[in-house]
Amino acid sequence: MVTAEFGKAVRRWRDRVAAEAVGLPAGGHRRAPGLRREELAQLAGISVDYVTRLEQGRASNPSAQVVEALARALRLSGTERAHLFRLAGLALAGPDTVPAHITPSVQRLLDRLTGTPVAVSDATWTLIVANPPYAALMGDPSGWRGNERNAVWRQLVGRGQGSRVRHTPESRRAVEAALVADLRAAADRYPADRRLRRLVTELRANSDRFAELWDSGAVGRHEAARKTVDHPQVGTLTLDCDVLTVAGTDLHIIVYTAEPGTEDAERLALLTVLGTQAVVG
């Protein structure tokens, strides 16, 4: 069981986070000065019931992923994040482990990109967080679990099933090669990361194409590209996809933009207004 102190800390930090500071509407009567439980649950990607049980000390020990998600949603500093991990009885990832922490400054940047599709992945291309415009553009990833959250797995084991990005056979092979090369580079940087080693083992066991690319020894990076997205409601969009890396974090920030004044920009703006709702009419 988590300690009562863990729940108290979550509640204390929840009370200090203003809804408008994290991109949520601040309207309506609020009994507490900060986030409601359902708002924290939404930001962290967990159930309201689980947040309640954690705060009341009635839940099983949370996983490192849950604690990381809570730290991110609560905008904790590095010291506060370390304290929350200790209260959960967990050790922080060491320097040989792929980092998955989004710093408060990076989170503030993401909070301000409310009209731009943005997702953040770690160095293994495992999705950490995606904003609502990204979910509207590419499909809601909130239901993905385990290896489904990894882009290399989805591309090579899932064969891109459900992806809205249009590919030719040549472009698909190029994306596969770039992703595997990037994963190999990450494996070189984090040789002691057990989760990464397990991912590579499972990819080899489930994809001959991955094994072929991995054994070729290529090393590189999956970077900027121009992508065509076939959206089921607003039609086809051709967008610039830039992959940014924040110094000292090794995170991938994936940003989709359209050239101003184009039909692509108009369709992207429509998606931002509609969110993940279907177009009616």
Q: The domain 104-274 is classified under which CATH number: 3.40.50.720, 3.40.50.300, 3.30.450.180, 3.40.350.10?
A: 3.30.450.180
Query: String of b and e for 3-37 (b: at least 16 CB within 10 Å)?
Result: eeebbebbbebbeebebeebebeeeeeeeeebbbb
For 104-127, what is each residue's pLDDT tens digit? 888 888 888 888 999 999 999 999
Q: What is the pLDDT of residue 220?
A: 62
Three-state secondary-structure class, residue 194? helix
For 253-272, what is each residue's pLDDT tens digit? 999 999 999 999 999 999 98
Q: Does domain 4-87 have CATH number 1.10.1840.10?
A: no
For 91-102, what is each residue's pLDDT tens digit? 777 778 898 888
Distance of alpha carbon 105 from alpha carbon 102, whole angstroms: 8
- Mean pLDDT, the chain, rounded, equals 87
Where are the domains positioned within the chain?
Answer: 4-87, 104-274
Q: What is the pLDDT of residue 278?
A: 44
Q: What is the pLDDT of residue 137?
A: 95
Which residues of the chain form beta strands (DSSP E)? Answer: 118-121, 127-130, 225-231, 235-245, 252-257
CB-neighbour burial class of residue 158 (10 A; exposed 0-12, middle 13-18, buried 19+)? middle
222 Cβ contact list (under 8 Å, min separation 6): 125, 175, 178, 179, 181, 182, 243
For 196-230, what is each residue's pLDDT tens digit? 999 999 999 999 999 999 998 876 666 668 899 99
Confidence at 22, pLDDT banded by 50, 70, 90: confident
